[in-house]
Amino acid sequence: MKNSTNQQNSLKIICDIIGHKYEVSKKVTSHVKEYTCKCCRKQLTTNSNGHLTELTPKFKEINSILEEIYTRRMLRLKEKTFSSSIY
């Protein structure tokens, strides 16, 4: 237990000095993504203004609902395109 805490603290210090190395962990929509730091596992997301903010439980819920709406809309658009191409 103590060893993992020391390791997390050392990784956090590296991120504080050098900076975070974020990678996309989830694409919610084409504009909204969730990011995770490779070192310290800090999670961020894009807010309504397009700026990065910390991924709180509130933003997790917003992103999951947004993802549902987005996927349903994309499915409807694909079905509409498919049915219009037949005629």
- Delimit the domains of the chain by residue range: 2-86
Task: Give pLDDT tens digits for 26-85.
Answer: 999 999 999 999 988 999 999 989 999 999 999 999 999 999 999 999 999 888 776 766
Is 70 buried (19+), middle (13-18) or exposed (0-12) by CB count in 10 A?
middle
Residues 6+ positions from 63 with CB-CB distance below 8 Å? 26, 28, 32, 34, 45
Residue 7 has pLDDT above 70, yes or no: no
Nearest-angstrom CA–CA distance, 21 and 60: 21
